[in-house]
Structure 1
Amino acid sequence: MLQIQVDEEVIKELYQKAIDERLKELDQELVYWDTKELKRRTCMSWNTILNTFFWEDDFPKVKIGGKWYFPADEAKRFLNQWLANKK
């Protein structure tokens, strides 16, 4: 008879590590965010974004046609700094 024991904590750690690595890969795949992605990344509504930081001169944004695009790395740096300044 064969008996197998599984350490559930080890399994959870392995799953979490794999998920974290995949999320990091996905995050690096995006060069630009659109408004939907910006809302998702900030957990803010579009109106809140417009009323808080969107119109600040140093917030990186480009409008092409009728659609806004945000360079992902620059936007992330701006948002981290912006939030740090709100403390």
Structure 2
Amino acid sequence: MINITIDQEEVREHYMKKIEEKMNEIDGELVYWDSKELMRRTCMSWNTIQKEFFFHPEFPKFKLGGKWYFDAQDTKMFLLHWLRDRSL
């Protein structure tokens, strides 16, 4: 007879680590975001984004034609710092 014991916590940790790795891989594929992606990533409406941080002088943004683009890495860093500053 074979007896198998599974550590549920270790399975959960392994599962979460794999999810995080996949999310980082997906994130790494995007070089820039458009306004729709920015709204999705921040869970904010366009009006809220404009009100809260869009016009901040350090917010990285580029306008090509009539469309705004945001460097994915720089925007993530800005948003993390911005959020930390707001929560103090």
Q: For the superposition of Structure 1 and Structure 2, which TM-score range results when normalised by the shorter chain?
A: 0.7 to 0.9
Give 1:35 shift: 1.1
What is the CA deviation profile of residues 41-78 of structure 1, one whole-angstrom value per residue up to 9, with x for unaligned ones?
A: 21211110011111222211111222211001111122
> RMSD over aligned Cα, in angstroms?
1.6
The list of structure 1 runs, each at least 4 consecutive aligned residues, that deviate by more than 4 angstroms after superposition, is none
Percent of aligned pairs with the same residue? 55
Which residues in structure 2 correspond to 1:2-81 (within 5 Å)? 2-81=2-81
Where does structure 2 lack aligned partners over 5 or more consecutive residues? Answer: none
Question: Which secondary structure does the structure 2 equivalent of 1:4 belong to?
Answer: coil
Question: Which secondary structure does the structure 2 equivalent of 1:53 belong to?
Answer: helix
Equivalences, count: 87
- With normalisation by structure 1, the TM-score equals 0.83
Give 1:31 shift: 1.0
- With normalisation by structure 2, the TM-score equals 0.82
Where does structure 1 lack aligned partners over 5 or more consecutive residues? Answer: none
Question: Which secondary structure does the structure 2 equivalent of 1:27 belong to?
Answer: helix
Question: Which secondary structure does the structure 2 equivalent of 1:5 belong to?
Answer: coil
Give 1:84 shift: 2.8
